[in-house]
Amino acid sequence: MTSSKKKILFVTSTRADYGKIKSLIIKIQKNKKFSSKVFVTGMHNLKLYGKTIGELKMDKISGLIVHNNQNKFSKMDEILINTIRGFSPILKKFKPDLVVIHGDRTEPLACALSALLNNFNVVHIEGGEVSGTVDEMLRHAISKISHIHLVSNKTAKKRLVQMGENKKNIFIVGSPDVDMILGKDLPNLAKVKKRYDITFNNYAIGILHPITTNLKNLKRETKVFISALVKSNLNYILIYPNNDHGSDIVLNEMKKYINYKKFKIFPSIRFEYYLTLLKHSRFIIGNSSSGIIEAPYYGVSTINLGDRQKNRLQSNLIKNVNFVEKSILKSITFVKNRKIKKRKFFGEGKSAEKILKLFLSNKIWNISNQKNFIDII
């Protein structure tokens, strides 16, 4: 690494991806060898979903570049176009040495494509994962237009090699949000309950996202989901879905229960506070990857509904169920008092430290922006 400061441009568009890269952004911004900015777009700027750009400001993240790429009526292809329109001028003005993106959303795809076409190298965090919906296709597309891959495990690395990526440019660093999951600075439960006015002594967490390739069944599935929760007669903390096409269907059904005494419904919960709630919950139910990635670290059972996470890692902590009310209720009865062993499937934490060490080395700064497909011989 040369003595001049390297310029890094981060991209964040959701509460989830910010939670995963927050610790890395903070470490980079504290290190004098880097100059960084953060392109903030997507759900962060929508009041409907809690306007979570406020979280970045509370964390004193500097160099924020805010771009409003959508309203609540925007389709995913429109979001893609609008993101490129906002991101391209930033690239040309800031001229980053690296663009760092995470995951599998429309915005990271747009930013990776814009960077590629303008000859800027892209770092993709948590590529090589599989899930089962359009997210997986977006994730693999992002990997193919990225130059450097920071993956969570050997399996993810193997998948990227199968996709023709150069194994020399794939680095196993674990899952960055594990830094937060295992962090010692999480707020205590009493503080979280006070902040969000939660009076339940015990509770489960529910998160249901739309599946954009199966919208015809979404209303029925949402009704089944909520009906099962009501009939279980337990307390639930429900969090709004992401803003994928179809989220309005989920929200319309959820809002019918805004005054139901056993539900507390939130547009968003700050990531550290959410982790504390998850850690102390009876179980998590829905189709969020949080039930696959984060819950096992706390020994919390997951009832995974439908196909959204069907290709993700499986274990005895995760109970897969179709959208059948009787089956969901049976699963709730099975897991609600179950005690299980904590499992660490995505590393031991310290991912941000590993990435920082990589960025401080000379391993990545001379990687060509001209990629070649590597055949498996």
Express each pLDDT in 76-108 by its tens digit. 899 999 999 999 999 999 999 999 999 899 999
170 shares its domain with 238: no
104 shares its domain with 197: no
Mean pLDDT value of segment 122-128 = 96
76 shares its domain with 193: no
Q: Residue 151 carries which DSSP code?
A: E
**Residue 256: is its pLDDT beyond 80?**
yes
Express each pLDDT in 156-191 by its tens digit. 999 999 999 999 999 999 988 888 899 888 999 999
Q: What is the CATH number of the domain that holds 106?
A: 3.40.50.2000
Give the structural domain span for 292: 189-335
**How many C-beta neighbours within 10 Å does residue 47 have?**
8
Q: How far apart are CA 239 and CA 256, in angstroms?
A: 14
Mean pLDDT value of segment 367-373 = 93
**Residue 61: is its pLDDT beyond 90?**
yes
Quote the pLDDT of residue 365.
Answer: 95
250 belongs to a structural domain: yes
330 belongs to a structural domain: yes
Which string of DSSP letters, residue by residue, matches 222-284? HHHHHHHHHHHT--EEEE---SSTTHHHHHHHHHTTTT-TTEEEES---HHHHHHHHHT-SEE
Mean pLDDT value of segment 316-339 = 90
214 shares its domain with 87: no
> pLDDT confidence of 1, banded at 50, 70, 90?
low
**Residue 48: is its pLDDT beyond 90?**
no
**How many C-beta neighbours within 10 Å does residue 297 have?**
21
64 belongs to a structural domain: yes
125 shares its domain with 81: yes
> pLDDT confidence of 205, banded at 50, 70, 90?
very high
Express each pLDDT in 8-31 by its tens digit. 999 999 988 998 899 999 999 999
Mean pLDDT of the chain: 92
Quote the pLDDT of residue 349.
Answer: 82
Residue of 37 and 244 predicted with greater confidence = 37
135 shares its domain with 252: no
140 shares its domain with 213: no
125 shares its domain with 209: no
**Spatial contact of 302 and 282, defined as CB atoms under 8 Å apart:** no
366 belongs to a structural domain: no
172 shares its domain with 27: yes
Quote the pLDDT of residue 312.
Answer: 75
374 belongs to a structural domain: no
110 shares its domain with 250: no
Three-state DSSP state, 50: coil
313 shares its domain with 243: yes
Give CA separation, 197 vs 159, 193, 264, in Å.
Answer: 44, 5, 9
Quote the pLDDT of residue 40.
Answer: 97
> pLDDT confidence of 3, banded at 50, 70, 90?
low
> pLDDT confidence of 244, banded at 50, 70, 90?
confident
**Spatial contact of 178 and 347, defined as CB atoms under 8 Å apart:** yes
177 shares its domain with 220: no
pTM of the model: 0.88
Three-state DSSP state, 126: coil
Express each pLDDT in 344-353 by its tens digit. 777 778 899 9
> What is the total count of domains within the chain?
2
371 belongs to a structural domain: no
> pLDDT confidence of 308, banded at 50, 70, 90?
confident
Quote the pLDDT of residue 2.
Answer: 56
91 belongs to a structural domain: yes
369 belongs to a structural domain: no
Q: How far apart are CA 86 and CA 72, in angstroms?
A: 18
